[in-house]
Amino acid sequence: MPNPSRPRNNGKQQDPAVRRKNFDEVALTFTHEEALAEADRCLHCPTHPCQNACPVGVHIPDFIAYIKAGDVGAAASEIMKTSLLPAICGRVCPQEKHCEGHCVLKAKFGSVNIGGLERYAADTARAQGALKPPVPAASTGKKVVCIGSGPSSLACAAELRRAGHDVTVYEALHAYGGVLRYGIPSFRLPREVINKEIETVQAMGVKFKTDVLVGATIKVDELLKEYDAVYIGSGAGLPTMLGIPGENGVGVYSANEFLTRINLMQAYKFPQTDTPIQAGKHVVVLGGGNSAMDAARCAMRLGPESVTIAYRRSREEMPARAAEVEHAQEEGIQFEYLVTPKEILQDEKGRVTGIRFTRNELGAPDERGRRRPVEIPGSDFVQPADTVITAIGQRPNPTITKTTSGLKTTERGVIALNEKGETSLPGVYAGGDIIRGGATVLLAMNDGIAAAGRINEYLKGK
């Protein structure tokens, strides 16, 4: 019998005082006993609201049932029927907004820890050698190229390969994973997990190549001569700057730069690695999304005296995943709400010395329903800082859109799709941040999976 009234197990975590000094994973994978007990809380609702709320439709009650039955290999295979990156999803999905947010136990006893169980199934099955990549369908003889190796492109490539196509992934950087590799820190998503998930996709027969920047090394027009279809999952990849005085001061980083130095280039190991980074004594991160949390928590691990996240609205409007905000707070990161940066102050050598802020109050809601910050006149103050990290969002990188003839974009620079999810070019599909401008790993993956379905249909008629 299920035991829903047992309290939700959030899973063990590294002690904040310890973890703020290392880059090892914060959350630990469930033990066998913990997983069984948590799985036992699931009521296996016939209407499965959790599954309905999952953008990629993971068969949640079914995979949990396999965990209960002690068959993690089957649990992992069940997840992989709809999502081929379970170890990543279990870690970085905003479960509280999707599956766990719709669990019937949520109000009374706390939702089943679905993310924790998904991750347990993937990690444990993999460790036992029981995680089997799906066997691709018979070869269709069709060739597809996926641009980028981030979550969207990876998911698309894996699904296309499952359907029997010959699939190649082109990555611009020297390592695969896109934002998973350069953006998300190892304490949230260990590099080994990314490597293993990509190895699984490779084991299915997807071919990967680094150092190809489509739009520069080769153009989409040329790819269309060689491939039957093209999927563009090239990501956001263009940081939004503040547009305030002093933003080119020495010690001002975009979150992309700061995170890339640490996550992709492993600058925190300098001089064992060759790429340096400076955190200084007082770090201020501007923004309230996941990138801001990631940057602040990375900065904390470099050992400064203080790290502060400054956000223009209040805690309630902050877009970051709830767990990341809590983790940041536990690690000693300070939060300054309702402030707008006006100027980054520099000394005579151009080094950052502080930020001049204005305080805000909340006004009427904006078009997305979040209350708008309204500046309070005369409320300026200076916060000392020697490192400033701007994490105020990203826009699509224009390398591909600028160099592809006939590919339509919107006024925001994202690739335009019609109601059928097609771009303006036949055989060219797109998803993830290149159509959204900056969203989550899960939405990007979902786009990739959906596009794979459309590409399958398109290739059938070809």
Partner 1 sequence: MRENEILLKEQLNDVVVKFVIYKPMIAASAKAGQFVILRGAENGERIPVTLVDWDAKKGTITVIIQSIGKSTFMFNSFKQGDLFLNILGPLGTPIDVHNYGTVTVVGGGVGIAEVYPIAKALKAAGNKVIAILGARTKSLVILEEEMKGVCDIVLPCTDDGTYGQKGMVTDVLKGIVTAGEKINAGFVIGPIPMMKFTSLLMVELGIEPYASLNPIMLDGTGMCGCCRVTVDGKVRFACVDGPMFPARTIDFNELIRRTGEYKGEEKRAVEEYEKNHKCKIGLH
Count of residues of this chain found to bind partner 1 when the rule CB under 8 A is applied? 43
Reduced 3-state DSSP string for 103-120? CCCCCCCCCCCHHHHHHH
Label the pairing between strands 252-254 and 387-390: parallel
Query: Collapsing DSSP states into helix, strand and coil, what is residue 55?
Result: coil
Exactly one of 116, 185, 251, 341 binds partner 1 (CB under 8 A); which one?
251
Among 55, 133, 185, 237, binds partner 1 (CB under 8 A): 237
Q: How far is the CB of 152 from partner 1 (least distance, A)?
A: 16
DSSP conformation class of 178? T
405 is a site residue for partner 1 (CB under 8 A): no
Cβ at position 38, least distance to partner 1 in Å: 38
Q: Kindly give the pairing relationship between strand 352-365 and strand 381-384.
A: antiparallel
Taking contact as CB under 8 A, which single stretch among the options 77-85, 250-258, 423-431, 434-442 is the one that binds partner 1? 250-258
Nearer residue to partner 1 within complex by CB, 3 or 248 = 248
- How many whole angstroms separate alpha carbon 88 and alpha carbon 77? 15
Quick check: 233 and 146 in contact, CB under 8 A?
Answer: yes
According to the binding rule CB under 8 A, does residue 238 interact with partner 1?
yes
According to the binding rule CB under 8 A, does residue 257 interact with partner 1? yes
Q: Which of 5, 47, 272, 405 binds partner 1 (CB under 8 A)?
A: 272
Q: Does 247 bind partner 1 (CB under 8 A)?
A: yes
Determine the interface stretch with partner 1 among 61-69, 283-291, 394-402, 419-427 (rule: CB under 8 A).
394-402
Q: Is there binding between residue 261 and partner 1 (CB under 8 A)?
A: yes
Q: Candidates 93-101, 255-263, 328-336, 404-412: pick the segment binding partner 1 (CB under 8 A).
A: 255-263
CB proximity list for 93: less than 8 A, separation 6 or greater: 99, 115, 440, 441, 442
Applying CB under 8 A, among 51, 290, 387, 397 the residue interacting with partner 1 is 397
User: 130 with 77: CB under 8 angstroms?
Assistant: no
Q: Per-residue contact track with partner 1, 210 to 229, x per CB under 8 A?
A: xxxx--xxx-----------
CB of 256 to partner 1, least distance (A): 5
Minimal distance, residue 21 CB to partner 1, in Å: 21
Residues 73-78: contacts with CB within 8 Å, 24+ apart?
A: 73/125, 73/128, 73/130, 73/131, 73/132, 75/121, 75/125, 76/121, 76/122, 76/125, 76/126, 76/130, 76/131, 76/132, 77/131, 77/132, 77/134
Site track 184-213 with partner 1 (rule: CB under 8 A), x = hit: --------------------------xxxx
* Interaction between residue 276 and partner 1 (CB under 8 A): yes
Cis, bond preceding 377 (omega within 30 deg of 0): no
Could you tell me the two tokens for 10? 């959030």
Residues that bind partner 1 (CB under 8 A): 172-174, 182, 210-213, 216-218, 237-239, 241, 243, 247-248, 250-251, 253-254, 256-257, 260-261, 264-266, 269-276, 278, 349-350, 397-399
